[in-house]
Amino acid sequence: MSLHVVVGFGPAGAATARLLAERGHAVRVVTRSGRSPEPGIEHVAADAADSGRLIELSKGAAAIHGCAAPPLHRWVRELPPLASSVCAAAEASGAVLVMLGNLYGYGPVEGPVTEKLPLAATGPKGRVRAAIWEQARGWHEQGRIRAVEVRAADFFGPGVTDRGHLSGRVVPRVLRGKPVSVLGDPDAPHSWTYLPDVARALVEVAGEERAWGRAWHVPTAPALSGHAMVDRLADRAGTAPVAVRGLSPAVLGVASLFSPLIRELKETRYQFDRPFVMDSSDYEAEFAVRATPVGEQVGATVDWWRERVAAGG
C-alpha cells in the first residue's frame, strides 16, 4: 500500500481517488473546501496553489494526481500557479506527477488528434494548457521530477454533472423524453471519453515507468456524433425517439451574455462544428486499460442519472 495525493475532487479526481482506495492505497485528497472522510480517503482543506502547504501534504507520496481545474473563465489566471505548485510538490517529495490534461492545447487540427501533433493552440485556454505541460515536461527532462500527462476528450459518464455536452444539460432531458440541444453540428463525429476510463488510465500510468516523460490519450471508444449518443441514451432510458438539434450561433451569442461558460466555449467551438476525433492507439499499444464498450457506458450513465433524479439531485 502506498500514499497517493489527489489534487481536486471534481468528477475525475473523485473517480481516481475512489479507484485508488478500492485498490488498497492510502489516498489524500486536497481541495479548498475539504470534505468528510470516506473509506480509504482522507480529505484535507488546503489551497493547492500554496506550494509550501502542498509540499507538506505530499511528503511520502508515491504519486501526485493533478486533477484540479478552476472554472474555464479563470484558467488563464489560476492554472499556472496551481501547476507550478504541483510540480514543486512532486520535486520535493519525489512522487510521480500524473497530470490530467485535455485536447485544448492542440488547437484546431485536420484529421485525427494524436499525441504527435504540436501543441499549437492560439486561444488563451489552449495556450495555458500547453504551457503547464511544457513546464512539467521540462522539469522531467532536467531530472527534477518524473511526470506524465493523460489527456482526455470531453468527459461522459456517471459522476459528470456539469451543464455541458452529454451531462447535466442533456441526460435529465433525455430521461423525460424532452428535445435536446447540443453544441455545434449534432451529426459531426466527436470523441467522448468515459470517466471511469480516465481514472483507470491515471492510476495505471502512475506505476508504469515507461509511460513517464510524455503525454498519452485515454483509451476512448470510436467517435460518435452528439445525435448518435443521444439516440443511445434515449434507447437505454426507454424514451426514444428524442429530437436533437444544434444550438445556432445566434442563440449561443445571446446565451454568452449571461453565461461565463458559454462565453469561454467560443474558443473551442471548432471541436463541435466539424469532426473531432481523438486517437488513443499509442496508449492501447503499450498498456492494459481499454475503453469501456459504448453500450456499458450508456447503460451506467442512464442508471446513474435516473437514481440521481429520483433522489432529487
The predicted-structure confidence for 196-211, as pLDDT tens digits, reads as follows: 999 999 999 999 999 9
Among the residue ranges 26-30, 76-80, 117-121, 163-167, the one predicted with the least confidence is 163-167
Helix axes 195-206, 11-22, angle to 10 degrees: 60
Q: Cell numbers for 132, please give them.
A: 503547464
Percent of the chain with pLDDT over 90: 83
**Where do the structural domains in the chain lie, given as residue ranges?**
3-154+192-217, 161-191+222-277+293-310
Residue 162: band (very low, low, confident or very high) from pLDDT cuts 50, 70, 90: confident
Are 3-154+192-217 and 161-191+222-277+293-310 the same fold in CATH? no
State mean pLDDT over 59-86. Answer: 95
The structure's pTM equals 0.95
Pick the CATH number of 3-154+192-217 from 3.40.50.720, 3.60.20.10, 1.10.3720.10, 3.40.50.360: 3.40.50.720
Sign of CA dihedral 111, 115, 121, 125: positive
- Judge whether 53 and 46 are in contact, CB under 8 Å: yes
> What φ, ψ does residue 149 adopt, rounded to 5°?
-120, 140
Q: Cell numbers for 279, please give them.
A: 486517437
pLDDT, residue 253, reads 65
Query: Number of H helices and number of E strands within the chain?
Result: 12, 13
State mean pLDDT over 94-101. Answer: 98
pLDDT, residue 226, reads 94
- CA–centroid distance for 183 within its chain: 18
Mean pLDDT of the chain: 93
Q: Cis link prior to 241 (omega < 30° from 0)?
A: yes
Among the residue ranges 139-143, 190-194, 214-218, 241-245, the one predicted with the least confidence is 241-245
Percent of the chain with pLDDT over 70: 94
Bridge partners (DSSP) of residue 29 are 6, 43
Q: Cell numbers for 66, please give them.
A: 493533478
pLDDT, residue 257, reads 62
The predicted-structure confidence for 223-279, as pLDDT tens digits, reads as follows: 999 999 999 999 999 998 999 998 766 666 666 566 666 666 778 888 989 999 999
pLDDT, residue 287, reads 98
| Helix or strand (DSSP H, E) at 173 | helix 171-175
pLDDT, residue 135, reads 98
Check whether 101 has a pLDDT greater than 70. yes
Sign of CA dihedral 156, 158, 164, 170: positive
pLDDT, residue 267, reads 82
Check whether 171 has a pLDDT greater than 90. yes
Q: Does domain 161-191+222-277+293-310 have CATH number 3.90.25?
A: yes
Sign of CA dihedral 43, 49, 54, 58: positive
